[in-house]
Amino acid sequence: MIGIDWKDLNPDVHLANYFPCSPNYQFGPRIIQDHQFIYVIKGSGTANIQGREYQLEGGHLLYYGPNVVHTFKASCHDPFELYGLHFCLSSHLMNQNPSRAGTARIQQIDPSNQNQVILRSDNRCVLYTESQSTHSIPEFTITEKESTHPFFHNITGQYNKGGYLSSIICRTMLTDLIIRLVAPDEHPDSYLPLPSTIEDKVKMLLNSHARQGYDRRWLQEWTSYHEDYVSRLFANRFGLSPKAYFLACKLELASQMLAMTDFPISQIASTLHFGSVHYFSRIYKEKTGCSPREYRKSKRDI
C-alpha cells in the first residue's frame, strides 16, 4: 500500500484518453509507474489486477497503483470502450510544465514468467491523518453511469486542451473524484451531484449517449414532457438546441478518437453514427475549421 496524508494530496493528471477496443483486444499483463483509473463506458470484457479477476461492463471503475500487474481484455462480441486516467498523487504545478501524453511509463510483463507477476506489489493508495482513520481508494467500484461517464468525458477534454489552466481544472476534478471514492459519506455533495433541472438532466444524458445516433424521442422518455417543450427549455437555458448540443458532444468524441487512436477516419465516422465518412468530414470541417485528417496531423506533429 502507498500512504499519503490528506493534506499532501495534490494529484496531477499525466494522461487522459478515450479508447474504444476492438474485439478480443488485450493490453497487459503490464505495470505502470503512475496511478490509474480505468472506466468502462460500455461493452464488456475482463480485468485481472494482481491476480484478482473482474467481469466488466458499463459503469465499472477500476483503480490500481504503480507496479501493480494488470491485464484487460475486451470481449469478442461486445468489446468495451474505456477511459484511462494516469495520475500521480502529489505534485507542484507551478514548478513544472504540465504533463502531456506520453509521460505515462508502461512496462510489459512476460506472462510466461510467473515469478515476475507474483512478486509485484499491491500498491493501492491509503489516505490518512494523524487523528482519523485511514481511507483507501477502492480497486473496483460500480458507479452511476449517467453521472460518471460525463465526468471522464469532461476531464479528458480538459486534458487535451493543454496548458496550466486545464491542468488546474483536471487537478480539481481528480481531487473531487478521489474524495468521493474514499469518503462518500463525508462528502455527499462532491463532484457528481444529481441534475437539479430538466435541462441539466437532458444535457447529462445527451452527453452520455453521444456515440449513438440522435433520437428526438429521448427528450420525452427522459423527462415525461413533450419533445417540443423540452427542446424549448434546453435552448433557452443553453443557447442551442438539444440536437446541436448532441452534435457538439459527438464532434468532441471524434476529436478524441482522431488524436488518441489510429482508427481509420471511416471507422470513426461509423462508430459515432455519422451516416457516412463524407458527411462526417464535411460537418467536422464546418464546425471546427479543419478536416479530420488535418486535425489528426496537427496532434501528431512534434
Amino acid at 266: S
CA gyration radius for the chain?
Answer: 20
Q: Is the pTM of this model over 0.75?
A: no
Q: Please check whether the domain covering 2-182 is classified as CATH 2.60.120.280.
A: yes
Grid cell 464546425 is found at 287
Q: Kindly report the number of other CB atoms within 10 A of residue 278's CB atom.
A: 11
Overall size of the chain counted in residues: 302
- Tell the burial category of 7 from Cβ atoms under 10 Å away from its Cβ (0-12, 13-18, 19+): exposed
Per-residue confidence of the chain (302 residues) as pLDDT tens digits? 666 777 778 889 999 988 888 899 999 899 888 899 999 999 999 999 988 899 999 999 999 988 888 999 999 999 999 999 999 887 643 344 444 444 457 777 776 664 555 445 566 666 666 655 577 888 999 888 777 888 898 898 888 888 888 888 999 999 888 888 887 665 544 444 445 688 888 888 888 788 889 999 999 988 888 999 999 999 999 999 999 999 998 998 898 888 878 889 999 999 899 989 999 999 999 999 999 999 988 876 54
DSSP-based helix, strand, coil % in the chain, nearest 5? 40, 25, 35
- Domain positions in the chain are 2-182, 198-300
72: its cell numbers: 484487460
97: its cell numbers: 510544465
Q: Which fold has domain 198-300?
A: Arc Repressor Mutant, subunit A (1.10.10)
Grid cell 465499472 is found at 60
Given strand 52-57, what is the order of strands in its sheet? Answer: 52-57, 44-49, 70-74, 26-32, 106-108
199: its cell numbers: 435541462
